[in-house]
Homo-oligomer: A and B are copies of this chain.
Amino acid sequence: MSKGSVPMEVQKILNEYDLSKLSVATAGSHSALQILHGAKKEGLRTVLIVKKDRLDFYRTFSHFIDEFIIIENWSEILEKDVKDNLIALNSIIIPHGSFVEYVGSKNLQKYEVPIFGSRKILEWEATQEKKMELLRRAGIRVPKEFKSPEEVDRLVIVKLGGAKGGRGYFLASTPEEVKEGLEKLGNPSNYIIQEYVIGVPAYYHVFNSKVYNRIEITGMDIRYESNVDGLRRLPPKYASKVSPTFTVVGNIPMVLRESLLITVYNYAKSFVEVTKEVVGEEIVGPFCLESIITENGEIVVFEFSGRIVAGTNVYIDGSPYSYLYWDEPMSVGRRIAREIRKARDKGMLEEILR
Contacts and interface: CB of A to CB of B under 8 A. Distances in A.
Name the residue among A228, A249, A294, A318 with the largest chain B CB count within 10 angstroms. Answer: A249
A109 interface: no
Interface of A is mostly: mixed
A191 to B, nearest CB: 19
Contact of A54 (B173, B262, B292): B262
Interface residues of A, number: 91
Interface stretch (A5-13, A17-25, A281-289, A307-315): A307-315
Name the residue among A199, A265, A325 with the largest chain B CB count within 10 angstroms. Answer: A199
B238 A248 contact: no
A256 B314 CA distance: 9
A235 interface: yes
Given A165-B257, A233-B244, A317-B322, 10 more contacts: A29-B258, A33-B258, A33-B324, A57-B265, A200-B225, A222-B252, A231-B233, A251-B255, A252-B253, A253-B314
Interface of A: 29-34, 37, 41, 54, 56-57, 60-61, 63-64, 98, 155, 165, 171, 173, 198-202, 214-216, 220, 222, 224-240, 242-245, 247-262, 265-266, 292-297, 310, 313-325, 327, 329
- Leading 5 A-B pairs by shortest Cβ distance: A316-B320, A232-B232, A317-B323, A245-B295, A200-B230
